[in-house]
């Protein structure tokens, strides 16, 4: 109706995964690993259009339903493949100190991208085959180190540091603009018993301001007839945060 579909096109995902899990008999270490292949056929996309609802030949430059802009239309955007590896584990370095982490690798490839305006706009192509999928880093990972020790009675205290890594991510299928590598660190110190837990924490310890994400948007500005200006919508990072948490188990 009015050029806007009420249903989304069909999509199909085939996923193959092989993994292994192992934990030491004494519980001193564990490791999980998996490899996978994912094939996405009929990947769905959403785009905006302008529809002359009243047929007067002029677009009312207001959001629908008052105007005739920004009608979200689902469409079949093409196919893509992803192959990857994921590993996570932890080891007790001493009876009080534990070290662990995870790493992930993802190789994404668009095998067919149809009905997309970006390849046509930038390259004069109707297909973005061979480009990487947007917003997916090749590498990501995390590390942690935690120390825990007994206090008087049932109480114990702990200190933990975490670090996360997210690799470079493109903001669209044309692989031009990107979010650079993001590295964040957090710290927490607390005290607990079987019944309660109190801790103080610092998130984003070094006040890293790398963007959380960024996505290409062709609808950032419009004249009465065509969407002509484009931009990348960015999600800003949270500043360094200090806080206190408390929990009680009944």
Give domain status of residue 59, yes or no: no
Considering the entire predicted model, what is its pTM? 0.81
Statement: residue 95 has pLDDT above 80: yes
- Evaluate whether residue 75 is within a structural domain: no
Among residues of the chain, what percentage have pLDDT more than 70? 80
What pLDDT was estimated at residue 118? 78
Q: H or E element: which one contains 19?
A: strand 12-23
Domain presence at residue 2:
no
The neighbour count for residue 174, using CB atoms within 10 Å, is 19
In a domain, 233, yes or no: yes
Size of the chain, expressed as the number of residues it contains? 250
- Strands of the sheet containing 71-92, edge to edge, are 12-23, 29-49, 71-92, 97-113, 139-150, 156-166, 182-192, 196-203, 241-248
User: Could you please report the per-residue DSSP string of 151-181?
Assistant: -STT-EEEEEEEEEEE--EESSTT--SEE--
User: How would residue 228 be classed by pLDDT, with cut points 50, 70 and 90?
Assistant: low
* Within-domain flag for 108: yes
Within a domain: 190: yes
Q: Is residue 28 part of a domain?
A: yes
Number of domains in the chain: 1
* pLDDT tens string 6-28: 666 788 899 999 999 999 999 99
Which pair of tokens denotes residue 41? Answer: 């056929």
- Give the residue numbers spanning the domain of 209: 19-40+82-248
CA distances to 86, 102, 104, 169, 204 from 185, rounded to whole Å, are: 21, 15, 18, 20, 5
Which residue intervals of 74-185 are DSSP H helices?
117-123
Structure tokens, 241: 């945060």
pLDDT in tens, 112-158: 876 667 787 788 887 788 889 889 999 999 999 999 999 988 999 99
Q: Is residue 72 part of a domain?
A: no
Top pLDDT among 50 and 235 is at: 235
């Amino acid at each position: 109706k009015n050029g806007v579909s009420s249903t989304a096109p069909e999509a199909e995902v085939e996923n193959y995964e092989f993994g292994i899990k192992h934990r030491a008999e004494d519980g001193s270490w564990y490791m999980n690993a998996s490899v996978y292949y994912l094939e996405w056929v009929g990947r769905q996309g959403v785009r905006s259009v302008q529809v002359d609802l009243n047929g007067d030949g002029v677009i009312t430059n207001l959001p629908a339903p008052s105007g005739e802009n920004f009608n979200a239309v689902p469409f079949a955007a093409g196919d893509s493949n992803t192959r990857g590896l994921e590993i996570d584990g932890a080891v007790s370095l001493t009876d009080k100190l534990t070290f662990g982490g995870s790493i992930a690798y993802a190789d994404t490839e668009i095998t067919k991208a149809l009905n997309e305006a970006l390849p046509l706009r930038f390259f004069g192509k109707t297909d973005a085959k061979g480009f990487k999928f947007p917003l997916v880093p090749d590498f990501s990972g995390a590390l942690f180190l935690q120390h825990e020790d007994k206090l008087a009675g049932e109480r114990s205290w702990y200190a933990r540091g975490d670090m996360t890594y997210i690799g470079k991510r493109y903001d669209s299928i044309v692989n031009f603009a990107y979010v650079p590598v993001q590295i964040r660190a957090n710290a927490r110190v607390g005290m607990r018993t079987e019944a309660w837990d109190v801790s103080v924490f610092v998130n984003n310890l070094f006040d890293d301001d790398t963007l959380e994400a960024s996505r290409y948007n062709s609808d950032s500005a419009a004249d009465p007839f065509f969407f002509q200006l484009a931009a990348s919508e960015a999600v800003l990072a949270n500043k360094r945060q200090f806080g206190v948490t408390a929990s009680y188990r009944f």
